[in-house]
Amino acid sequence: MSTPHNSAEKGDIAKVVLMPGDPLRAKVVAERYLENPVCFNEVRNMLGYTGTYKGKRISVMGSGMGMPSIGIYSYELYNFYEVETIIRIGSAGGISPDVHLRDIVLGQGACTDSNFAYQYGLPGTIAPIADFGLLRKAVEYCEQNGVRFHVGNLLSTDVFYNAFDYVKEWERMGVLATEMEAAALYLNAIHAKKKALGIMTCSDHLVTGGSLPAEERQNTFTEMMEIALAVAASEA
């Protein structure tokens, strides 16, 4: 049962999916961590793979950049392919002074400047939140393995090159970091009665101006991937 964006057939995709923005990062995760990975999608070069991790069947698929893109792919996974859990893994720009480069940020909630939730016709503003069970497992993994992490609100923004400086306002409201996908993922999960969590690595900081060089990004992203895989395996 292919879709306009996914050539997979029913059963090709596991119940638990890791979802980086970059499809090439999905390829890296599959080749580095999954046993016997099989590519189930190449439509629009949005690569997706299914294999096993520590005996558990897990998939990994790119989402593309921004809420419209992850909105399409996560919707199809939840509603057409019977996926139960999606864990977003990606980079984020630090906003809070407590968040440092290389830190892990677990998105308990996702503030947004997007109009993605308009489709639900709600008589107010919904707060997109992660699944608490997934969040608790990620926290426990970080505590047990000495990972420096933070739990709190992300900012999922539609605009990468913003015309004005919005960072101070979100910092004042306690937002930890900014990225571009989590709010749409959380909303799709809530609407489908499924599970979602965003696990981010702070790769640059919008206040201090610091950023990670390429080699350090690779090493830190490995830590993020391993947290997500541990949580995914517990759900598979």
Q: Active-site residue numbers?
A: 204
Burial of 70: CB neighbours in 10 Å, binned 0-12, 13-18, 19+: buried
Count of CB atoms situated within 10 Å of the CB of 177 = 28
SS3 annotation, 29-45: HHHHHCEEEEEEECHHH
Question: Nearest CA to 233 among 62, 22, 28, 59?
Answer: 59
- Collect all residues with Cβ–Cβ distance below 8 Å to 26 and sequence separation of at least 6: 18, 19, 20, 47, 48, 49, 60, 61, 62
Q: Dihedral (C-alpha) 206, 209, 213, 214: value to the nearest 10 degrees?
A: 30
Alpha helices in 130-172 (DSSP H): 132-144, 167-172
Note the residue count of the chain: 236
